[in-house]
Structure 1
Amino acid sequence: MNTPSPGNTSAGILLNVLSSILFAVMYAYTGLLAPLSGEEIYGWRTLLTVPCLTLLLLATDAWDEVRSIGRRLRHESLFWAKRLLSAFLLGIQVWLFMWAPLNGHALDVSLGYFLLPITAAMVGRFAFHERITPLQLLACGLAGIGVINEFTVVGRVSWPTLLVCLGYPLYFYLRRVIGTNNLGGLWCDMTLSLPLSLFFIWKGGMVLSGADGAAHLPLLIVGLGALSASALALSALSAPRLNLTLFGLLSYVEPVLLVLASLLLGESIAPSQWPTYIAIWLAILVLIMDGIRSLLRQRWRGRPAAGESARAADRDAG
């Protein structure tokens, strides 16, 4: 794997930040779909996203990833069960992302996304024996202080927060151990969710019935599909243009924007929760410092040879 050129890196940063912006816009956008339930919005988003993912797979010559999964489904007896579990874990997250802003849990979900890099790092350390730096360990400790505040002062950590920060690492862990951690695996997970999505659309029926109060919804739903597909496409296009350190640092842009979207939706941070947010923001700051230090170290050492880059990427990947 060659080191991305400065031009490619700049383009990758722009694409990744635009992706995070679109995800945050989609988060706030659900407020416009308020007549629909979270389940119905989830159904429409999935239904409209799968065709766009299909086009992206074809455009990037990644359809072989889907064929490979199809062959494994025919020859591995338990692979169906693993795929269904993977689809379920992803479906829960997609549903929660659509449901939370309509039900007063937008900030809870955004807090889960802040904690996600920490819990993912811990899973990588204990499940895959990945190296964890002293600064990353400090960040985990600071995040732990925030969680302790939730338990002792607020009295609980909300279930949407836990579902995001624990559920997503479990999903990524499963995709990694079964060898489907790619765009084809994502396509299969979304496609397996289609029957449930269609059921939610049929059960809600507001858009399909053409009710007078829902006359504006078809256009808004098309907008939802466009936002979802564009955000996914920009994220996928950014990844090859960024090294792993930069890609990790940019993952913190989205939760910051989700907090802003939550505040725009009318939620507010309770005074008792400020220590939680401050501790977690400090943890994120420490992780950013660790990432910047890693980038500077790479610059001081000079660009590694192609073989060295490949070995470093393999080591970081597990």
Structure 2
Amino acid sequence: MRTGLLFGAGAYAMWGLFPAFFPLLKPAGAVEVLAHRIIWSFVLMVVVVAAVRRFGDLRQISGRVWLLLTAAAALISVNWLIYVYAVNNGHVVDAALGYFINPLVSIALGLVIFREKLNRWQVGALVIALAAVVVLTVDVGSPPLIGLGLALSFGLYGAVKKLVPTDPRVSVGVEAGLAAPFAVAYVVVLQLTGHATFTDHGAQHVVLMVLAGVLTALPLLLFAAAAQRLRMVTLGLLFYLTPAMQLSWGVLVGHEAMPPARWLGFGLIWVALLVFTVDAVRGARADRRVPQASRM
């Protein structure tokens, strides 16, 4: 379990530090950064899949799974694009909001897509989260589109991945591979039209752009390793590390505005997460008691 905690904390801490990294890639725009994230993460995943000798898994992927992986590739690309745009344009707090409400969005998607039944605790958490979105909408004058976009894209990505039986290392590589041709084509067009930044801002910029791909794939690999070793409740609790770090960065380093209404909205989200967490811990304890009772 200790190894799993290290893997999980490493993944979430890396995601939490992204607001410090992506501004270093300027003047590259969000779409160019996304393209390089896809290309270089694909290169890394080819090396990883070769190292673990799992290329044979590709022959076992059915047509249905290929469609699911295509959908996953599109969803995670949208998520990355929104996130890079948010971080590079002073919306780190909005990005943090997206990842705070992500577990609650996952509950709602479970109800809608998988017809899962919600208990009273989960319904209560969703109602409180909805109230938070209303407060934030009234405060800003429009829905928190960045936060909702991140939460929905990542929540749907998780829902699709739930249906994919492929080894996580292979599936992440396939997702990057499916998006890589589009990313390469975009980068080539940028280079030919003179709008690319990759080769025009020195060796340091080249290294940072390549590193963006490595930092994209590495936490996904750490997360996959943690998921194999930790209970879902533990993994879910660790998840809060990422948006907490992002919120702290946005407020303390980015000096983003946090008027009272915004604090109220975030406070409601945290109450909803507390309700969700208490319910998850109660459920995990009940699940542990059932096998013990069956052995008596």
**TM-score, normalised by the number of residues in structure 1:** 0.80
1:85-124 aligned at under 5 Å gives the runs 85-124=71-110
Matched residues in 2 for 1:178 and 1:13: separation? 24
In the superposition, relative to structure 1, how do residues 12 and 305 fare at CA in structure 2: closer, same or farther (>3 Å)? Answer: farther
Counterpart in 2 of 1:241?
A: 229
Matched, 1:66 2:52: no
Q: Secondary structure at the match of 1:67?
A: helix
Provide Cα deviations, 1:62-92, integer angstroms capped at 9, x if missing partner.
54543322xx34xx6xx76665444222211
Identity of aligned residues (%): 24
Counterpart in 2 of 1:11?
A: 3
Matched residues in 2 for 1:81 and 1:194: separation? 16
Work out which of the residue numbers 40, 48, 53 in structure 1 matches 2:45.
53
Counterpart in 2 of 1:286?
A: 275
Matched residues in 1 for 2:245 and 2:231: separation? 23
Counterpart in 2 of 1:311?
A: none
Given that residues 26 and 224 in structure 1 are in contact (C-alpha distance below 8 angstroms), is that contact kept between their aligned partners in structure 2? no
Given that residues 133 and 144 in structure 2 are in contact (C-alpha distance below 8 angstroms), is that contact kept between their aligned partners in structure 1? no
In the superposition, relative to structure 1, how do residues 226 and 127 fare at CA in structure 2: closer, same or farther (>3 Å)? Answer: closer
**TM-score, normalised by the number of residues in structure 2:** 0.85
Given that residues 26 and 228 in structure 1 are in contact (C-alpha distance below 8 angstroms), is that contact kept between their aligned partners in structure 2? no
Which one-letter code corresponds to 1:98 in the other structure?
V
Work out which of the residue numbers 258, 267, 271 in structure 1 matches 2:256.
267
Shift of 1:29: 0.3
Given that residues 98 and 146 in structure 2 are in contact (C-alpha distance below 8 angstroms), is that contact kept between their aligned partners in structure 1? yes
Given that residues 16 and 234 in structure 1 are in contact (C-alpha distance below 8 angstroms), is that contact kept between their aligned partners in structure 2? yes
Q: Secondary structure at the match of 2:49?
A: helix
Shift of 1:201: 2.8
Work out which of the residue numbers 230, 236, 254 in structure 1 matches 2:242.
254
Q: CA RMSD in A?
A: 2.8
Matched, 1:33 2:32: no
Matched residues in 2 for 1:206 and 1:138: separation? 48
> Unaligned 5+ residue runs, structure 2?
none
Matched residues in 2 for 1:190 and 1:182: separation? 12
Q: Secondary structure at the match of 1:206?
A: coil
Matched residues in 2 for 1:178 and 1:150: separation? 35
Counterpart in 2 of 1:158?
A: 144
Counterpart in 1 of 2:172?
A: 186
Given that residues 52 and 229 in structure 1 are in contact (C-alpha distance below 8 angstroms), is that contact kept between their aligned partners in structure 2? yes
In the superposition, relative to structure 1, how do residues 171 and 230 fare at CA in structure 2: closer, same or farther (>3 Å)? Answer: closer
Which one-letter code corresponds to 1:24 in the other structure?
G
